[in-house]
């Protein structure tokens, strides 16, 4: 290829006007903060500025991204700008996919990947500069990195420099966190954006968003429309609705429209389409999740439609329940969304809510992930670093998670044997932390290795890593041309649940030689199946390095009922913190770690065996406990009560004071153990209580 591509607009990106000032500040400081509007060139240009100044001669320049889709897309863009092949000078690394080489000097990687690298090389010695990008997203992993890098720099690592970039973050606050480091604010080159509020909340936000888009399309001068929706399903629904409506418009009323979805599970080649400029006399309508809020900048947008919602995960440590719910965005997010309309010329933002909602109901800022997620993985990770003088409960985070969340994490880790009675990491715990999986799944793999069913467990881990292997609602969301006809039934899981079914599906797919038709005929997404295979292959390699017992990790295609049984047993080890016990007389379940929580089996779970009275299995383990319309457990596997006796005893004697590293507290020890016993007894509760489900 040779030679970088030089085009005028790139030179004009605001950050490039600050090249000298940035280089001066970086040269004389180990940490600095750069605040700049989205689209000012932080992600694509800053690394190139540092590269041109010669920093990459001292080590790799790393740029962390909270989202995989952004890491890939931005690396591709920068490789193009520099005129090099992706994977050589410019590469990316995301979980289970490494496209870097020994020549890579600019490396985009997810924040999670950099955390994993810290495990192998706590000093990050191959890097000259770490750019913690998109820090305003405040993902859990970025927050951990902020704390860790602070530790590292305090110890004085002269080779390493840190640049934190953000679109909105309070620069002074983060500067204070880093010992009053310098903050550079890049003035935005934003054109004015007119904000139009609705007079009241619409009855249906979805319908109102569609109508607004059509109205803009019919009445307003050229310029692309960016419509924010909460998830893939809603986006697909919106696209087909818009298609319909636009077709109904009389010919000649308006220009042509191109409809483009943008969300994280879109295949990369389709994602790339939003960066192509629109053909003239044609309006693009981009329907996106909040990935378009700050991570990805789509040029050409003049109209933004903001319904004011986002899908957010929230973990409740007292019930162990995750809720993935649609919540109101924060004011910071609303401002970001509006800003997308003013990048190339004056724009308009249609807020589908009244200004009073914006003023009085929206939170000023988004709650950082660290305060609303289960911290079992984080706590295990920090413990596995075995940093001297690091007390996980007092770790220096930018925003502290609640005590309740931390204690919940300790309890979970103890039940799956990642930490001992005194809260110290066990050998098993260390091995778990080395696997790029959540602690429970990592523990299950290690157990499977010991019990001789690693092949099956690897397959299940791979299959659980995909969002969904099934084409959801094929008839509703696809156009007729793409409609998938399901010709054959899937294996049933022998009544033993989803994990066994996933294993059977994968093994049959292997036997078909990974055939596309095989997937299509069964309503499965080949892309997801391929992803499961890649993850499985990667995990098999990691396990091979660890355990030298590859003989089990080659895909077995002929698992027997006995294998399924061993697999379920090994899953019990990992998911000992996620067991559920059926009610005596009906099919509701009680969660073992949080006795007060009653749940039901989610309708998506494959049919489980029932006894003569129509009752489901007495004990199950689950992958997910999620509150949608009601509390459900999803991805469920049948287990035998005899396999979990020791867990029941363990639950009875757990002592959170000792786990927190504070030694035993006799008084409260009694309280907690009494309480647990009471909880266990309620597991065999009477029918009147069960009525409350």
Q: Measuring CA to CA, how many Å separate 554 from each of 309, 439, 455?
A: 45, 23, 6
Which listed option, ligand CDP, Mg ion, none, makes contact with residue 45 (CB within 5 to 8 Å by class)? ligand CDP
Q: Are 112 and 337 in contact (CB under 8 A)?
A: no
Q: What single string gives the DSSP state of each residue in 577-643?
A: TSEEEE-SSSS-EEESSSTT-EEEE-TTSPPPP--TTSPPPSEEEEEEEEESSSEEEEEEEEE-GGG
16, 17, 53, 77: which one binds ligand CDP (CB under 6 A): 77
Q: Which stretch binds Mg ion (CB under 5 A): 42-50, 109-117, 241-249, 385-393?
A: 42-50
SS (H, E, C) 94-147: ECCEEECCCCCCEEEEEHHHHHHHHHHCCCCCCEEEEEECCHHHCCHHHHHHHH
Identify the CA nearest to 363 among candidates 286, 308, 293.
308
Indicate the DSSP class of residue 296.
Answer: S
Identify the CA nearest to 352 among candidates 303, 288, 302, 305.
305
Q: Does 553 bind ligand CDP (CB under 6 A)?
A: no
Its sign, for the CA torsion 87, 546, 464, 148, is negative
State which of positions 160-179 bind Mg ion (CB under 5 A).
Answer: none
Choice between 42 and 581, CB closer to ligand CDP: 42
- Give the number of C-alpha atoms closer than 13 A to the C-alpha of residue 27, restricted to the C-beta side: 9
Structure token pair of residue 246: 């636009």
Structure token pair of residue 478: 């696809």
Q: Does 339 bind ligand CDP (CB under 6 A)?
A: no
Q: Are 165 and 135 in contact (CB under 8 A)?
A: yes
Q: Does 45 bind ligand CDP (CB under 6 A)?
A: yes
Choice between 42 and 284, CB closer to Mg ion: 42
Q: Does 43 bind Mg ion (CB under 5 A)?
A: yes
Residues 6+ apart with CB under 8 A from 310: 228, 230, 290, 326, 327, 328, 329, 333
44, 93, 168, 289: which one binds ligand CDP (CB under 6 A): 44
Minimum CB–partner distance for residue 458 and ligand CDP (Å): 34
Which listed option, ligand CDP, Mg ion, none, makes contact with residue 44 (CB within 5 to 8 Å by class)? ligand CDP
Q: Which stretch binds Mg ion (CB under 5 A): 43-51, 202-210, 259-267, 618-626?
A: 43-51
Which listed option, Mg ion, ligand CDP, none, makes contact with residue 197 (CB within 5 to 8 Å by class)? none
Choice between 187 and 607, CB closer to ligand CDP: 187
Choice between 42 and 411, CB closer to Mg ion: 42
25, 33, 35, 43: which one binds ligand CDP (CB under 6 A): 43
Choice between 262 and 425, CB closer to ligand CDP: 262
Q: How many other C-beta atoms are found inside a 10 Å radius of the C-beta of residue 666?
A: 8
Minimum CB–partner distance for residue 41 and Mg ion (Å): 8
Q: How many residues bind ligand CDP (CB under 6 A)?
A: 16
State which of positions 297-316 bind ligand CDP (CB under 6 A).
Answer: 297, 299
Q: Measuring CA to CA, how many Å separate 259 from each of 48, 282, 283, 330?
A: 33, 11, 9, 27
Q: Which stretch binds ligand CDP (CB under 6 A): 16-24, 40-48, 202-210, 232-240?
A: 40-48
Q: Which stretch binds Mg ion (CB under 5 A): 10-18, 40-48, 185-193, 554-562?
A: 40-48
Q: Does 36 bind ligand CDP (CB under 6 A)?
A: yes
Minimum CB–partner distance for residue 374 and ligand CDP (Å): 30
191, 275, 397, 470: which one binds ligand CDP (CB under 6 A): 275
Structure token pair of residue 405: 């969340």
> Rule CB under 6 A: which residues touch ligand CDP?
13, 36, 38-45, 73-74, 77, 275, 297, 299
> Rule CB under 5 A: which residues touch Mg ion?
42-43
């Amino acid at each position: 290829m040779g030679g970088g591509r030089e085009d005028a607009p790139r030179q004009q990106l605001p950050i490039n006007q600050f090249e000298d000032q940035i280089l001066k500040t970086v040269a004389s400081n180990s940490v600095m903060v750069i605040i700049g509007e989205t689209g000012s060139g932080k992600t694509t240009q800053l690394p190139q500025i540092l590269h041109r100044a010669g920093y990459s001669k001292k080590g790799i320049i790393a740029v962390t991204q909270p989202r995989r889709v952004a890491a890939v897309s931005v690396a591709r863009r920068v490789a193009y700008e520099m005129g090099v092949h992706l994977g050589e000078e410019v590469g990316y690394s995301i979980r289970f996919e490494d496209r870097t080489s020994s020549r890579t000097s600019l490396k985009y990687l997810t924040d999670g990947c950099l955390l994993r690298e810290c495990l192998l090389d706590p000093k990050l010695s191959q890097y000259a500069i770490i750019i913690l990008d998109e820090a305003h997203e405040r993902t859990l992993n970025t927050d951990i990195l902020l704390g860790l890098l602070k530790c590292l720099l305090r110890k004085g690592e002269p080779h390493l420099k840190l640049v934190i970039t953000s679109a909105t973050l309070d620069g002074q606050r983060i500067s204070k966190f880093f010992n009053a480091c310098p903050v550079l604010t890049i003035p935005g080159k934003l054109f004015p954006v007119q904000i139009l509020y609705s007079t009241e909340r619409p009855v249906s936000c979805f319908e109102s968003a569609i109508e607004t888009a059509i109205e803009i399309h019919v009445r307003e001068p050229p310029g692309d429309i960016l419509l924010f929706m909460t998830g893939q399903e809603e986006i697909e629904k919106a696209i087909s609705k818009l298609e319909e409506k636009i077709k109904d418009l009389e010919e000649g009323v308006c220009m042509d429209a191109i409809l483009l979805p943008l969300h994280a599970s879109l295949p990369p080649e389709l994602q790339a389409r939003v960066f192509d400029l629109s053909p003239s006399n044609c309006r693009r309508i981009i329907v996106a999740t909040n990935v378009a809020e700050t991570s990805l900048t789509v040029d050409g947008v003049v109209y933004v439609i903001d319904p004011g919602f986002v899908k957010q995960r929230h973990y409740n440590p007292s019930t162990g329940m995750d809720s993935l719910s649609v919540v109101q965005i924060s004011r910071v997010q609303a401002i970001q969304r509006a800003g997308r309309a003013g990048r190339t010329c004056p724009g308009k933002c249609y807020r589908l809510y009244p200004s009073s909602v914006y003023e009085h109901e929206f939170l000023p800022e988004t709650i950082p992930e660290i305060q609303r997620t289960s911290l079992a993985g984080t706590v295990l990770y920090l413990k596995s670093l075995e940093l001297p003088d690091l007390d996980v409960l007092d770790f220096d985070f930018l925003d502290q998670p609640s005590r309740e969340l931390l204690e919940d994490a300790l309890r979970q880790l103890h039940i799956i044997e990642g930490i001992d009675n005194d809260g110290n990491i066990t050998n098993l715990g260390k091995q778990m932390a080395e696997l790029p999986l959540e602690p429970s799944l990592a523990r299950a793999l290690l157990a499977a290795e010991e019990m001789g069913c690693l092949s099956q467990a690897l397959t299940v881990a791979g299959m659980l890593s995909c969002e969904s292997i099934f084409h959801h609602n094929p008839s509703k969301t696809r156009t007729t041309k793409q409609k998938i006809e399901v010709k054959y039934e899937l294996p049933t899981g022998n009544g033993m649940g989803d994990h066994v079914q996933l294993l059977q599906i994968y093994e049959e797919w292997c036997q078909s030689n990974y055939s596309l038709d095989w997937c299509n005929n069964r309503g499965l997404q080949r892309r997801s199946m391929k992803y499961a295979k890649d993850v499985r292959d990667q995990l098999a390699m990691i396990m091979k390095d660890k355990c030298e017992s590859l003989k089990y990790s080659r895909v077995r295609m002929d698992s027997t009922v006995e294998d399924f049984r061993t697999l379920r047993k090994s899953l019990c080890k990992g998911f000992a913190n996620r067991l559920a016990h059926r009610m005596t007389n009906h099919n509701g379940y009680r969660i073992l770690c949080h006795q007060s929580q009653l749940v039901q089996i989610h309708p998506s779970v494959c049919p489980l065996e029932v006894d003569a009275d129509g009752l489901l299995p007495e004990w199950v383990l689950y992958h997910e406990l999620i509150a949608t319309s009601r509390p459900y457990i999803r991805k469920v596997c049948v287990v035998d009560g005899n396999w979990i006796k020791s867990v029941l005893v363990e639950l009875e004697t757990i002592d959170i004071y000792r786990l927190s590293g504070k030694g035993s507290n006799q008084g409260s020890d009694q309280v907690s153990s009494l309480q647990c016993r009471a909880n266990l007894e309620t597991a065999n509760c009477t029918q009147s209580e069960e009525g409350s489900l």
